[in-house]
Amino acid sequence: MEPLPVVWFTAIAVLWTGYLLLEGFDLGVGMHMLFSTRSERDRRVMLNTIGPVWDGNEVWLITAGAAMFAAFPAWYASLFSTLYVPLTITLVGLIVRAVGIEYRGKIHTGRWRTFWTRMIGLGSLIVAFCVGAALALTTTGLPIDANGDRVGGPFVWLTPPAVLGGLAVVGFALAHAATFLGLKADGPVRERAGRFAARWAPLCLVPAAIWAILVQFAHGGSVLSWALIALAVVAAGFGWTAARRRSEGFAFIGYAGFGVFGAGAIFAGLFPLVLPSTVDAAFDLTIWNAANGAYTLGVMTVVAAVSLPVIVLYQAWSYWIFRKRVTPGMIPEVHIVLPAVLRAR
C-alpha cells in the first residue's frame, strides 16, 4: 500500500476540518448579525471580533481545494464539475460577504448599513450551506459514471444528503460563533451569545451528528470513526455544560472539539473512498484510483512540510496579537473620515 495517497487524504481532511473550525465562527458571526441584535453598536462589536482574521481564515478553503486538485485530480474534476451550480453560488456568497464587510462602514446611512448587514449575513449563510452540501455529497455519493462524469441534469446534486450537510455546517457555524463571541466580545453581545450557546447550540449540532452517523452506516464505518463519534458526543456535552455555567473558554473548546472529532469521524468513515458513485459501486473514486503520480505527491509533501508550519505559526501569531475582547467602549461614534489625499489638499 502506497503511503503518500493516505498521507494526502489525511492532509486534505485536516485542511477541511481547519476551514470548518476557523471559518465556521466567521460565517456564524455573519449570520448572528441578521437576528441577534438591532443595535448598530452591537453589530459593529460583532464585526470587529472577526475583522482581523476573517480573510486569513478563507485561505484554508483555497488550500483545501488546491490540495484536492494536485493530489487527487480525478476527485477534484468529478466533484467540481458535478457541482458547478452550488460552487458558483458559493463564489457569489463569498464575494457578497467580503464586499459587505469592506463596504458596510463606507457610507453612514441606516439604509446603507442595513443593506450590507443583510449581504454579510446572507452571504455567510449561502457559503456555509453550499460548502456543507458539497462535503456531504463527497461523503455520501454523486451520480458519476466510469469516466467520473455527471449522470443527470445540473440539479441532480440537490438531494436530502446535500440539504443535511448544508444544515449541518450552518448549525455548527451558529453554535461555534456563539461561543466565539462569548470569548471575544463584551457587553450585550457577550450576554446574548452566552444564552444562545446554552439554549440553542445543542439543537444546532444535531444535523452534523446525523450526517456523521449516516456516513458510518453508508460505508461500514471503522473502530476509529466510531471512536471519533463518541468523542464528538462527549465534546458536545462538555461544551453545553460549560455554556450553561457561562464558562466561555471551556464552552468554546467543547463545541470546537465536536467539530474536529465530527469531521474526523466523517473522513475516517469515508476512507478509502473519496467520492462514491450512486450509479454503480464499480465507479467509486478511491484514494488509489484518483491519486496523482508518486513523484508529484512526493514533491507536494516536501513543499507542504516546509511551508505549512510557517503558515500555521503566522496565523497563530495573528490570533495572539488580536486576542483581547472587543468592548462597546472601543467602538467610536459614527464619523466622517476624509481620505489622506483630500486631507493633504
Query: Can you give 264-299 as a three-state secondary structure string?
Result: HHHHHHHCCEEECECCCHHHCEECCCCCCCHHHHHH
Q: Report how far residue 308's alpha carbon sits from residue 287's, in angstroms, rounded to the nearest whole number.
A: 22
Q: Report how far residue 74's alpha carbon sits from residue 63's, in angstroms, rounded to the nearest whole number.
A: 17
Three-state secondary structure call for residue 85: helix
Three-state secondary structure call for residue 185: strand
Q: Report how far residue 100's alpha carbon sits from residue 302's, in angstroms, rounded to the nearest whole number.
A: 38
Helices and strands: H and E segment counts in the chain = 15, 2
Q: Report how far residue 278's alpha carbon sits from residue 159's, in angstroms, rounded to the nearest whole number.
A: 12
| Overall average pLDDT of the 171-194 stretch | 96
Q: What is the pLDDT of residue 328?
A: 86
| Overall average pLDDT of the 58-87 stretch | 93
| Tens of pLDDT, residues 280-301 | 999 999 999 999 999 999 999 9
| Tens of pLDDT, residues 210-227 | 999 999 999 988 999 999
Q: Which of 195, 231, 159, 168 is nearest to 28 (CA)?
A: 168
pTM over 0.95: no
CA atoms within 13 A on the CB side of 284: 15
Mean pLDDT of the chain: 92
| Overall average pLDDT of the 87-97 stretch | 95
Q: Report how far residue 254's alpha carbon sits from residue 338's, in angstroms, rounded to the nearest whole number.
A: 45
Give the count of beta carbons closer than 10 Å to the beta carbon of residue 342.
7
Q: Which residue has the higher pLDDT, 311 or 333?
A: 311
> How many residues does the structure list for the chain?
345
